[in-house]
Homo-oligomer: A and B are copies of this chain.
Amino acid sequence: MTTTLSQVAEQAGVSVSVASRSLNGHAKAYRISDETATRVKEAADMLGFRPSQTARSLRLKKTGLVGVVVPDLSNPFFASISQSIALSAEAEGYSVIVADSREQTEHEIRLLQQLEDRQVEALVVCPVGTESKHLQQINERGTPVVLADRTFPDCELLQVTSEHRVGAVTATRLLTTKGHRVIGVLQGLPGTLPNEQRLSGHAEALAEIGISFDQSLVMGNNFTETSGFESAMQLLADRPDVTALFAFSTPNAMGALRAAIKSERHVPQDLSVVAFDDSPYADLMNVPLTTVCQDVDGIGQLAADLVLRALTNSKGRKRKKRHDIKTQVIIRNSISSVKD
C-alpha cells in the first residue's frame, strides 16, 4: 500500500543507501551523480513515496514532537498559548501533541508520562497543583521542560508568566486611590503562584496606605465563573461594607457581574469592580470592565521561543530561568469613587 524506500531504490535501479542519500539532499556530500539523484527523485515522485516519520524517528532518535499540557483547552488563555506553540513549532517542522489535564495533578502526571513515552523532544506545561518534582525529574531525564503561567518559586526550570504581584499592586491602587477601603477579593486557585502573588501584591498596596490585609475578605477556590459568582454572592451578603471587588480572572469577574445583578447592586455606582486579565469583549460588557490584562500572546510566544531554543541550542547553555511578562492597565468604567 504505502511505498517504502527500498521500492523506490528498486524502481530507480540503485541501492537503498543511494536512494536515501539522494532524497535527503546528501547527494553531493556523497558524490552521487546528478543523473542518479534525479532518477531517484523521479522514481520517488512516480511512486508517491513519503518517508515514514516513525522509522525515521526510531533511527535518528528524534521524533520532531513537542508536548503541550494545559489544564483546560477550552479556556481562551490556554488555547492561545497552545496556538502560539503550535504555530512556532510548525514553522520549524515540529508537530505538537496537546494534552488537557482537566486541572488535576493525577491526569497531568499520567499525560506527561505518556508524552515522555512518545519521546517528545520538549514540553511546555501549564502545571496544576503545587508540586514541581515530577516536572523537574522529566527535565533531568533529558526532556527540556518550560513552565507557563503557573510557575513555581525555587524551581530550576525555564518559566514564563505575568508580573502577577506588580499587576495586583496596580489593580488595588486603582481602587484605593478612589477611596475604597473595604475590598473583597475573588481569588482563583489557592496555592498556585499566580494566585499567591496577586494576593501578596494586593496586601502590599493596602499596606501602602496603612490598611492591614483581612483574610476574611478573600473568597473563591478557582479561576472559574462559578467560583467568582458564589464568592461574590457570599461576600456581598456577609460583608455589606464592601465597596469594591478585585476579581482574579475574567471568568471570576463575569461571575461578580452576575452576582451584582442578582443582588441588585449597580456597577460602578454601588460597587466597583476591577479584574485581573482582559476579555476581548470586556469593553462591550453591560459594565465596561477596568482590567489589568496579561499579555497572553507574549507569554505564548516566549514559551514557544524558549522551548524551540532548547531544542536547537547547545543543551548546557546558561540563561535566565524566570521570565515575568508585563501587564497592562486598561481603564474602563467599572470603578467609581467611594461616596462618604
**Is A286 located at the chain interface by the 8 A CB criterion?**
yes
Kindly list chain B residues whose C-beta atoms are within 8 Å of the C-beta of A111: 90
Which residues of chain B are within 8 angstroms of A82 by Cβ–Cβ distance? 73, 79, 98
Q: Nearest CB to that of A113 among chain B residues?
A: B50
Out of B102, B225, B285, name the residue touching A285 (CB < 8 Å).
Answer: B285
Is A279 an interface position by the 8 A CB rule?
yes
Residue from A113, A119, A288 having most chain B Cβ neighbours under 10 A: A119
Q: Which residues of B contact A63 (CB under 8 A)?
A: 54
- Distance to closest chain B CB from A104 (angstroms): 12
A117 and B79 alpha carbons, distance in the complex (Å): 26
Which residue of B53, B57, B74, B90 contacts A99 across the interface (Cβ within 8 Å)? B90
Contacts of A90 in B (CB 8 A): 99-100, 111, 114
A119-B86 in contact given A79-B79, A281-B279, A285-B284 (Cβ < 8 Å): no
Residue numbers in B under 8 Å from A98 (CB-CB): 82, 86, 96-98
Is residue A192 contacting chain B, with contact meaning CB distance below 8 A? no
**A271 interfacial contact with B, CB 8 Å:** no
Range class of the A interface residue count: 35 or more
Q: Which A74-122 residues have C-beta < 8 A from chain B?
A: 74, 76, 79-80, 82-83, 86-87, 90, 95-100, 102, 111, 113-119
* A82 vs B80: C-alpha distance when bound (angstroms): 13
A285–B95 CA distance with the chains assembled, in angstroms: 38
- B96 near A97 with CB under 8 A, answer yes
The distance in angstroms between the C-alpha atoms of A74 and B279, with both chains bound, is 13
Q: Which of A51, A100, A254 has the most CB of B within 10 A?
A: A100
> What residue of chain B has the Cβ atom nearest to residue A63's Cβ?
B54
Q: Which 9 A-B pairs have the closest CB atoms?
A: A79-B79, A73-B83, A53-B118, A54-B57, A74-B83, A54-B58, A74-B80, A95-B97, A53-B117
Known: A50-B116, A73-B82, A281-B281. 10 other contacts (CB 8 A): A1-B142, A54-B119, A55-B58, A73-B83, A73-B86, A76-B79, A96-B97, A96-B98, A284-B286, A286-B286
